[in-house]
Amino acid sequence: MLRNRLFFVMGLLVIASVILSACGGTAPVATEAPAAATEAAVATEAPAATEAAAQTSFTTPHPILGDLKVRQALSYCTNKADLIKSVYPLLNEEQQASLVMNTFIPRAHWAYAGDENVTVYEYDPAKGAALLDEAGWTLAEGADFRANAAGDQLSLKFTTTSAAFRQTWAAIWEAQMAECGVQVIRLHAPASWWFGDTTGLARRDYELGAFAWVGQADPGGQTLYACDQIPLPENGWAGQNGMGWCNELASTNIKLANNTLIKDDRIAAYTIVQQEFTKDVPSIPLFNRTETFATSADLTGFAPAPGQEYYNYNVQEWAKTGSDTVILGFTQEPASLFTLVEDAFVANIAYQIIRPAQETHLNYDFKATLVKELPTLENGGTVNNDVEVSEGTKVVDADGNVVDLAAGVFVINAAGEKVEFTGGTVTMKQLVSKFELIDGLKWEDGTPVTGADLALGQKISCDPESGATSFITCDKTASAEFTDNGYTQTWIPGVQDPLYFVPVWPIYPSHQLGDLPAKDWATDPRVAETPLSYGPYKLVEWVKGEKLVFAANENWVGGAPASPNLVIQIITPESAEALLLGGEVDILDSTTLAGLNETLQAAEAEGKIVTYVEAGGTWEHIDVQLFIR
């Protein structure tokens, strides 16, 4: 998680990435550069001038989808419950209902506007049909599909991937549209084309297009929904607003939501964006994908939650009745526990057993764990100073790039205005946050965890010889002053990241590794195979290809964990369910289980196991192409 954390915290957040897991591809990452905080009130009126650049392409409204009534009709004709049922047939109705998406933000998210504040398109094909009639698309007697007065048939091309689950729900959606008299022509394209750099989505080559975004604790959205993020040939196809949606009020507020540091102001701005989004229907949100877990029936304390990437955040609470050992089955073995360079999910799960994160984000909200509090502007732990900046100073420019200030560079000044630097000085915002470790945190050998361990974390994270691949956090740090129990983080002027309060630097044992050259970290066994613990468990044995064995850390600040021992057992995918049902492993996670199946469901009915199906951050949607070339 450490490499991800450094990237995640510092502005080029992984806001949303196209999911190719079901297609065998590698997802391109959508990133957003931070802009300066305005800390202004929510915009309630659109600016007089459009933000969209003068354009010569994609200016003609789509002859069908350019009509709002048609888009609303498609939404009313969409039965999301049946789509969910088609891919998750074994979930109960309550679980299925929990997956429904109404906007681009999950309903459990802190930034969700609430059903009462947005337009919710409940399944109502009669209302959809009436809207199509009003739009001039009528269904003649005996006809299968609607047509307009000129005799043109209401037919739309629908592009998505060839993933099996998408073929499943897309077929259902095609049938739903047919019931409303809309012909949908499905194209299940190769992932290499659909997600290519110069094809498919990247070139807006679709009428209706289905794929998934990954939601995060911070919803972002600026590159997806702002008017100046519409990809065009004229701007080199920059931006991710492939729908071509330009609603000035939404555009203004999506920028406010990403450029203010006050959470209540962000919620208010996101509410307006969601209201406009659901009113205009540039996209049809469908459902969250699920994450499935299964445990032995006598396991207690296991509690995966939405928004929390790593389900073992409370591993110290896991216990098995009648046993002193909990066994977690892994079908993939970590290559290393140096997670700055080994970022596999299973490596991070193993690592956080011995070195838990300094904060959690259950239900998409952040809570302090190993720091006394998250330093916010509201509680005074962070200040956002006005500083005078002159030529040659390292700053973040208006586009989010780290640059040396020089004539001609555009920056966001302290008033939140985009200005060109022409010489002299300019006043900019500069964040300064103070992080303090909780009292009593110790390494497994009894040595106290101190600011020196955090200082080592910064040193290794920012040294290219360590194997680190992202230095965004390092580049945007003006200074980090370490004390006995924490540090003061000062960002370079212009950094105004909404997640400024999240702890930045990892914790490494300076008393053990302080003299180890960065170039040797990735290969040193003390780093990669037997790292010291400050968490509830310590790693006592790693038999490659077989198991990782953990025992209670007697120096853990939280006291003795509920189970004295924990084992990660390396198993095969073919044997996983049998081992769980036979009582030889206690937990199978979402990296092993593709979903709920009849075998697991039957075992749960017999009281042998417990299953958990959580709404994941990944969500399916259908984007609408509002303009044609």
- pLDDT tens digits for 308-362? 778 999 999 999 999 999 999 999 899 999 999 887 889 999 999 999 999 998 8
What angle do helix axes 263-280 and 248-259 make, rounded to 10 degrees? 150
The pLDDT score that the predictor gives to residue 507 is 98
Neighbours of 249 (CB within 10 A): 17
Q: Which helix or strand (DSSP H or E) is residue 133 part of?
A: helix 125-134
What angle do helix axes 125-134 and 68-76 make, rounded to 10 degrees? 160
Is CATH 3.40.50.1370 the classification given to domain 36-289+619-628?
A: no
Q: Is pLDDT at 124 greater than 50 in this prediction?
A: yes
Neighbours of 152 (CB within 10 A): 12
The residues that bridge with 100 in the sheet, in sequence order, are: 287
Percent of residues, the chain, with pLDDT higher than 90: 77
Structure tokens at 490: 């000062």
Gap between the Cα atoms of 98 and 107, Å rounded: 8
The pLDDT score that the predictor gives to residue 261 is 86
Structure tokens at 415: 């008033």
210 neighbors 622 (Cβ within 8 angstroms): yes
- pLDDT tens digits for 479-519? 999 999 999 999 999 999 888 999 999 999 999 999 999 99
Percent of residues, the chain, with pLDDT higher than 70: 91
Q: Which of 9-13, 33-37, 140-144, 421-425 has the lowest mean pLDDT?
A: 33-37
Q: For the chain, give the number of residues.
A: 629
Q: Is pLDDT at 243 greater than 90 in this prediction?
A: yes
Gap between the Cα atoms of 327 and 180, Å rounded: 52
Structure tokens at 321: 């009745």
Gap between the Cα atoms of 267 and 378, Å rounded: 15
The pLDDT score that the predictor gives to residue 55 is 53
Gap between the Cα atoms of 231 and 44, Å rounded: 26
Sign of the alpha-carbon dihedral angle for 441, 517, 343, 217 = positive
Gap between the Cα atoms of 237 and 55, Å rounded: 12
Q: Which of 2-11, 247-256, 576-585 has the lowest mean pLDDT?
A: 2-11
Q: Is pLDDT at 8 greater than 50 in this prediction?
A: no
Q: Which of 60-74, 188-202, 316-330 has the lowest mean pLDDT?
A: 188-202
Average pLDDT, the chain: 89
Domain-wise residue ranges, the chain: 36-289+619-628, 298-366+533-607, 373-436+445-491
64 neighbors 627 (Cβ within 8 angstroms): no
- pLDDT tens digits for 22-49? 333 323 333 322 222 222 334 444 333 3
Gap between the Cα atoms of 145 and 151, Å rounded: 11
Strands 565-570 and 325-330: parallel
The pLDDT score that the predictor gives to residue 513 is 98
- pLDDT tens digits for 531-563? 999 999 999 999 999 999 999 999 999 999 999
100 neighbors 80 (Cβ within 8 angstroms): yes
Gap between the Cα atoms of 5 and 460, Å rounded: 14
Q: What is the pTM of this model?
A: 0.77
Q: Kindly report the CATH class assigned to 298-366+533-607.
A: alpha beta
Range among 228-242, 249-263, 329-343, 441-455 rated most confident: 441-455
Gap between the Cα atoms of 419 and 325, Å rounded: 61
